[in-house]
Amino acid sequence: MHWTVALGASFDEPAFEHALAGFRRLYNVAPERVLCAPDVLTRFAALLGRSPDDALRRDLRYDGLPVVSAILAPGTIVFEGSVDEERMGDW
């Protein structure tokens, strides 16, 4: 499943956390990876990476989740994950 969030290019860490928590609330699972528009990935690296240049590398992670660049509208992130089909009706 995919869940798209418009964070904007000047988001802060609490806004990212809020978006991540929204995915977890909605699907009752943690995402498997985070896809980011290039501007979001650059901002993410500046906020949470060792340096802004981390956006150019393919090893960005947040709480163990891979955070990668994707062709998306500016300011957009997409959380990707899967739900165990046996648990789908439990909520």
Mean pLDDT for 28-33 is 92
What would the pLDDT profile of 49-89 be if each residue is shown by its tens digit? 666 666 666 678 888 899 998 999 999 999 999 877 666 55
Any idea what the Cα angle at residue 41 is, between residues 71 and 77, rounded to 5°? 60
More reliable by pLDDT, 55 or 43: 43
Mean pLDDT for 14-40 is 92
Q: What is the pTM of this model?
A: 0.83
- Give the strand order in the sheet containing 2-6: 2-6, 76-80, 33-36, 65-69, 61-62
Contacts of 53 (CB under 8 A, 6+ apart): 45
**What pLDDT does residue 88 have?**
56
**What pLDDT does residue 44 have?**
86
DSSP letter at 53 equals G
| Domain extent listing, the chain | 2-84
